[in-house]
Structure 1
Amino acid sequence: MGAADTSLVTEQADDLVGESLALRGVPERVNYATGVLLGAEDFAAEQLYNRGRMGRAFAALYGFGTMAGLRVTCAANDNPELEVQVAPGLALDRLGRLIEIRRIQCIHVTRWLAQRQAMGTSALDRINVIDAVREDTPGNKRLVFDVFLRFAICPHGKTPAFAAGPFNATDYVVPSRLADAFEMTLQLAHIVGETEANPKGTLAVPQPRSPKLEAMLADMQGVTDPALLEAARRLWCMESALDAWPEPSQTDPTRLPKLAEHASDADWDKVLLARVSIPVQQADATSFPTVDTAAIAAIAAKPQPPATDHSEPKWRDMADNALRPIVFNPYSWRGAL
């Protein structure tokens, strides 16, 4: 269960967030004993304990990102609504929660733009789109979007619950299931490094490690002595483990700090899937952009590259999957089809 449009589902807050980021206390299990009456809170506590332990282990061992599938495509040919498709797959978020998509999900860029150009849209939303137009090469304007995925809990189904109201009431029901669902969003790519000389800044790029660990990794490249290289690798692994404990945000202890790819603090639990670049036209710097169909047709008409070319975006596509964080085990046995 899941939806790209959050208006289609009612989301429930996840107690796992507070449990994972708690600064005090320890995880607690329910102590079962014969003759002890169990209530709903006891079963909820048992679920929270198991989910919390599993999430801690997953996040510490594997980090976060795409685990399988979730390829994003935005075809340049035969795609008038600029439909962005996300294939089925599995991801892991920063709290170790599994995010699963079981069928293809779609977001339409043309509808996204139309909604923000509509008269009912706030002026700030329209201005943000206008200001986001980039011209990195003269004559080639584009809007750059990021596709994000986040975990969501969606209650559904109804079952009678006499404790919820009078016996003869029509609303004495509660949700019978809590779906591990998802929210998929399309948003303008985050910009960093804006200056007077470069008002458009540069597009934010996800970073897999801290600057300290990146520097240590770079230093290892020039080590040729096997013993010194092994010692450097062990030191790097140790520092990676020691720095891996997630610290809550200093401004909001109920969240983790936002990452380079996140535009706001509220995006902290979103996992980046892909970056989509859409050619646009703009009459002047204050005009709302429109899709450049001629430029998109030129992308669709490009000759097919050799089979050895694995660059992103793929042939006749506008989605770049190369930036996403991934969780990958090179020794996993998958079999040949």
Structure 2
Amino acid sequence: MGCCTGSAFTPAPAAALDPLQRVNYTFGMVLGVDDFSQEHAYLAARDERALRETIGYGVITGLGVSAPKPASSSEGQQVRVAPGLALTPDGHLVGVAAEQCANLQTWLDAEKAKDATTATRPTVYVLLRFAEASGSPVPIPGEPCRDESALSADARIADSFALDFAWAPPDASEDLALRAVVAWIRGIKVRSTGPAGQTLASFQADVERGLREAITTAWGDPRQSTPGMPAAATPALPEPSQVSLPAPPKELQIPRAEVAAYYAAAFEVWTRLLRGGFMAHHGPVPAAEPVAERALLLAAIDLKLGADGTRPVRMLGRPQLLHLRLLQEWLLRDGSQDAPREAHYVLGKGDDELDHAQDLLADFASKDHAMTRIDIVPDTTDGGSGNKARIVPAVKWPGGGAGGGPDYYGPAMTQPIPVADGGTGQAVAPGTGALLVGRAASGTTPARFELGMLAGAALTKPVGPSPNILVDATTAAPTIRLDTVQDIGPGASPDFAGLDLTGDLTVGGNASVTGNLSVDGELVLGEPLSSLLATDDKGVVIAARPWDGDEAALAAGTPPPFVYAPGEKAPVRIEDGGTGLAARPAEMQVLIGVKGATARGGDYALATLVNGKNTEVSLTQLSRGGGLELSINASGGGTATQVVAAGNASSPPSLTAVPAGNVVTINTVQPLHPAAQPRFNRLNLTAPPLNDGNIPPLGWDPATNEIVRTVPRPTAGGDPGQWRVRYVRSLDEWRVTDEDHVLVGVVPGRLSMPDLRRGGISEGRVIVIKATPNAPVGIVNLDIGTINLDGAASITAIAATQMDPPQWLVIGRS
């Protein structure tokens, strides 16, 4: 049949879908594809609006981003995104079921090829979007003039996702504005009464002006961001703690009695006036813009390498959603941080909301006070018993012992502070040179201070040792008379037993010193001497001579004295702190004492460290910081130390050590290698590994008291509604287990279906095997023999274990 022209048998174009219309089902109505599409569009759009408008958007769980250091210089930078769930700005719930990986370097190379200026950009962003994936094609009725590709259509459309790199972050107008709104409203003070003249309407107008200013001050105008703008022009991953927000004016206050109404008025400014403008890029209410924002920011990656060779990944500050259960627990737990009701408060000004508060202003306003005191008073608050501490005004001390106590001293008092309370007892200002002189108690007059003077006097000189200054306070006190023991004027000749001079001493005549002479300054003895000084047996300072090694002369006391100096004929003696040796040591030699040939004792000798039977000695030059390291290794030979495993009769050891000669054998009580089957009384697994889907679970067999592998029974009712997809990425993964539903080949291979006579596969288990263009697969052990799949072909087989013999039945091909 030839190709038709004109309008005959030409299908009508698909009707435009309106998300605000639903199908009005009427008896006798003929339903077509457009009706079902319209119904789905209405329901989907309603769900998206409900999620977007009532909840918001952001990361709900997971979706961590990492950029691990490449294993080698030739390997490109990988970026990994962990599984998780998010609500995107366009209202879609997007789930990532498995970890995703992309090569950032490949993307950067492609971007540089298109635009060389991208090489200077500092940051790249990871974005998440909603996407749809179709599959499961089925045949459909043909129409004239259609090729074979139009004879089938996808029977299913799956919700999926798309992960992308981008140079600019997505529009964050609403999220940034919301942060500023919450922070600003939180700063409004709640007072007992509002300011004079404030009404709910004026308060709301002030809130609107303040919020607009706060948003612009913190982030600029978020609505002015343009898709594709440079990264530096749009704030990414904002951290509100680092943003300076203008505080609400002090005159803007919320009266405590009307706190609910005032907060409702403040929130209405956001919901009625501001939020709609900041949501304009997200839609669909009132209407989505041509460039609606649908991407969610997951992370920002710095392209400059860090110190550890990795690229820093920043996720803090990305939009996130806290679920209601968490917020409920947060609110319930918040009360634990409140002060107890029976606690006592001290306030500068009273507050009716705090029942047990002490109002310092009311208590002290009418009192003449400068300080306070603490009184212990009975406490029966809320039925309690005992005492409590209360701050009360102290009593100013009036003098004369009146007024009781506690008291305090203040200016312009009628009496001076007595000595007993730490005062002077004097109210008269001292004159120049006057001192406070203590007077002893006399009769009924207590000990006291009086003002006195110092006076010079010639007192009777004592006989024998005496202090340097004589003090006489026995007469005419409080005047104190002072006198030195001897005259020390410029023309005097005082006598001293010893004289220490730290400076210069000039003596015009002879100097005779009968005691010690200590000179800290310079001492010049005639012409400067060119050798070391010493004294002879008469105390005369003479030149000493270097030590020449003559022991006999030294023992005879032959003058003059000897001194040690560099380059002497004989080494320093042991008696003088030397070694008595002049020879230089060789490597590995040490100084060791030996029995001497004379009665004076032993001498030093040089001995060399050598290896022994079981000891190895080594001298090693250190590479860091220089120096040497002496190592003595005594690990060889000898009898092995016995190793004993810890344990007792009630708690047997886990390891058994058996020494035999020089060998110690350590063995566990039972095998613990991967192929072993140890038995335990109890096994606690605090961090079991994740199941990759191919490992059967563990269960308890009460008949044998063992942990055994189990195979889950088929779910009652058949298909659970969602099949597990396993991607075959290596040859050894081409196998079928009872956990599989759909196998998709990523690498070519050969699949041998399991022998159903051996068990392990449930009755009615449906397996779909799909090849991909680059991964053909051959399948054997089917009821129709061997099938080779290539291109995008697939087969569906079902396990018929009740047949004789059991076999895999092919129930579908594409």
Same fold (TM over 0.5): yes
Q: How many residues align?
A: 245
1:102 is matched with 97
| C-alpha distance in structure 1 between counterparts of 2:143 and 2:266, whole Å | 55
In 2, Cα distance between the equivalents of 1:72 and 1:334?
28
Alignment of 1:179-258 (within 5 A): 179-189=158-168, 208-210=175-177, 214=180, 217-225=183-191, 226-227=256-257, 230-242=260-272, 243-245=274-276, 246-247=279-280, 255-256=288-289
Q: Does 1:30 align with 2:20?
A: no
Cα offset, 1:208, TM superposition: 1.6
Counterparts of 1:161 and 1:209, CA distance in 2: 50
Give the aligned residue type for 1:39. G
The CA deviation at 1:239 is: 2.4
Q: Which amino acid aligns with 1:324?
A: R
Quickly say closer, same or farther: Cα 1:318–1:207, change in 2 above 3 A: farther
Kept in 2: contact 1:89–1:100 (CA 8 A): yes
For the residues of structure 2 that align with 1:33 and 1:249, how far apart are their CA atoms?
35
Structure 1 counterpart of 2:37, which letter? A
1:111 aligned onto 2:106 = yes
Aligned AA for 2:119?
Answer: I
Distance 1:105 1:165 in 2: 43
CA contact 2:134–2:158 (8 Å) conserved in 1: yes
8 Å CA contact 2:90–2:282 kept in 1: the answer is no
Between stretches 182-191 and 61-70, larger displacement belongs to 182-191
Counterpart of 1:81 (choices 72, 76, 79) is 76
| Whole-angstrom distance in 2 between the partners of 1:178 and 1:318 | 37
Pair 45,77 (structure 1): closer, same or farther in 2 beyond 3 Å = same
Shift of 1:46: 1.1
Q: Report what 2:41 is aligned to.
A: 48
Secondary structure of the equivalent of 1:299?
A: coil
Contact kept? 1:75, 1:318, Cα under 8 Å: no
What SS does the corresponding residue of 2:317 show, helix, strand or coil?
coil
Alignment deviations for residues 178-206 of structure 1 (CA, whole Å, 9 cap, x no partner): 22222211122459xxxxxxxxxxxx977
Alpha-carbon distance in structure 2 between the residues aligned to 1:237 and 1:148: 31
Instruction: Return the alpha-carbon distance in structure 2 between the equivalents of residues 102 and 188 of structure 1.
Output: 26
Answer whether contact 1:84 1:106 (CA < 8 A) is retained: yes
Cα distance, 1:324–1:34 mapped onto 2, change above 3 Å: same
Aligned partner letter, 1:130: A
TM-score w.r.t. the length of structure 2 is 0.27
Structure with more relative contact order (C-alpha pairs < 8 Å, separation 6 or more): 1
Q: Distance in 2 between matches of 1:34 and 1:170?
A: 36
Matching residue's letter, 2:186:
M
Once the two structures are superposed, residues 32-58 of structure 1 have per-residue CA deviations (whole angstroms, 9 ceiling, x without a partner) of: 233322111111111111111111110
Q: Secondary structure at the match of 2:325?
A: coil
Contact 1:146–1:187 at 8 Å: present in 2 too?
yes
CA contact (8 A) 2:138 2:154 kept: yes
Report the alpha carbon displacement of residue 244 of structure 1 after superposing the two structures with TM: 3.7
Asked whether 1:271 is paired with 2:280, we answer no
Contact 1:66 1:326 (8 Å CA) reproduced: yes
What displacement does 1:269 show? 1.2
Residue 208 and residue 249 in structure 1: after superposition, are their counterparts in 2 closer, same or farther (change >3 A)? closer
Q: Name the SS for the 1:323 alignment partner.
A: coil
Q: Is the 8 A contact 1:216 1:236 kept in 2?
A: no
Contact 1:151–1:181 under 8 Å retained in 2: yes
1:224 Cα deviation (Å)? 3.2
The residue aligned with 1:162 is 141
- Contact 1:217–1:236 (8 Å) recurs in 2: no
Question: What amino acid sits opposite 1:321 in the alignment?
Answer: M
Instruction: Tell me: CA distance 1:114–1:169, structure 2 relative to 1, closer, same or farther (3 Å).
Output: closer
CA contact (8 A) 1:19 1:52 kept: no
2:317 is aligned with what amino acid? Answer: L
Please tell me the root mean square deviation across aligned C-alpha atoms, in Å: 3.8
Give the CA deviation at 1:92.
1.3
Deviation at 1:108, TM superposition (A): 1.6
8 Å contact from structure 1 (residues 165, 171) kept in 2: no
Structure 2 residue identity aligned to 1:94: P
Aligned residue runs from structure 1 range 121-200, under 5 A: 121-122=113-114, 125-127=115-117, 129-132=118-121, 143-163=122-142, 169=148, 171-189=150-168
Alpha-carbon deviation of 1:169?
4.6
**Considering only CA atoms, is the larger Rg found in Structure 1 or Structure 2?**
2
Deviates more, 1:107-116 or 1:168-177: 168-177
Find the aligned partners of 1:249 and 1:327 in 2 and give their Cα distance. Answer: 17
Q: Given residue 178 of structure 1, which amino acid in structure 2 is its aligned partner?
A: I
State the AA in 1 paired with 2:46.
R
Is the contact made by 1:206 and 1:324 (CA closer than 8 Å) also made in structure 2? no
Inter-partner Cα distance in structure 1 for 2:43 and 2:161: 20
- The residue that corresponds to 1:39 in the other structure is 32
SS of the residue aligned with 2:68?
coil
AA aligned to 1:183 is A
Distance 2:132 2:116 in 1: 31
CA deviation after TM superposition for structure 1 residue 68, in Å: 1.8
For 1:106 and 1:240, the matched residues in 2 are separated by 40
Cα deviation, residue 331, structure 1 = 2.5
Displacement of 1:209 in angstroms is 4.4
CA contact (8 A) 1:60 1:244 kept: no
C-alpha distance in 2 between matches for 1:66 and 1:30? 34
The 1:214–1:161 alpha-carbon spacing in structure 2 relative to 1, beyond 3 Å, is same
The residue number in structure 1 matching 2:57 is: 64
Report the Cα distance in structure 1 between the residues aligned to 2:158 and 2:258, rounded to whole angstroms: 51
Contact 1:150 1:184 in 2 (8 A): yes
Q: Residue 98 of structure 2 aligns to which amino acid in structure 1?
A: R
Render the CA deviation track for 1:132-168: whole Å, top value 9, x for unaligned: 1xxxxxxxxxx31110011122333311110555799
- Given that residues 155 and 179 in structure 1 are in contact (C-alpha distance below 8 angstroms), is that contact kept between their aligned partners in structure 2? yes
Counterpart for residue 24 of structure 1 = none
Determine what percentage of the aligned residue pairs are the same residue.
23
CA distance in 1, matches of 2:101, 2:153: 31
Among 290, 313, 316, the residue aligned to 1:322: 316
User: Does the 8 A contact of 1:107 with 1:186 survive in 2?
Assistant: no
Q: Counterpart amino acid of 1:278?
A: L
| Amino acid in the other structure paired with 1:221 | G
Tell me the distance in 2 between the aligned counterparts of 1:270 and 1:64. Answer: 10
SS in 1 for 2:175: coil
TM-score (norm 1): 0.61
Give how far 1:230 is off. Answer: 4.0
Distance 1:94 1:100 in 2: 14
Q: Which amino acid aligns with 1:126?
A: A
For residue 146 of structure 1, give the secondary structure of its aligned residue in structure 2.
strand
Matched residue SS, 1:38: coil
Give SS of 1:162's match: coil
The amino acid of 1:57's aligned partner reads A
Query: Is the partner of 1:41 in helix, strand or coil?
Result: helix
Unaligned stretches of 5+ in structure 2?
Answer: 1-14, 192-255, 330-686, 688-814
For 2:328 and 2:260, how far apart are their aligned partners in 1? 30
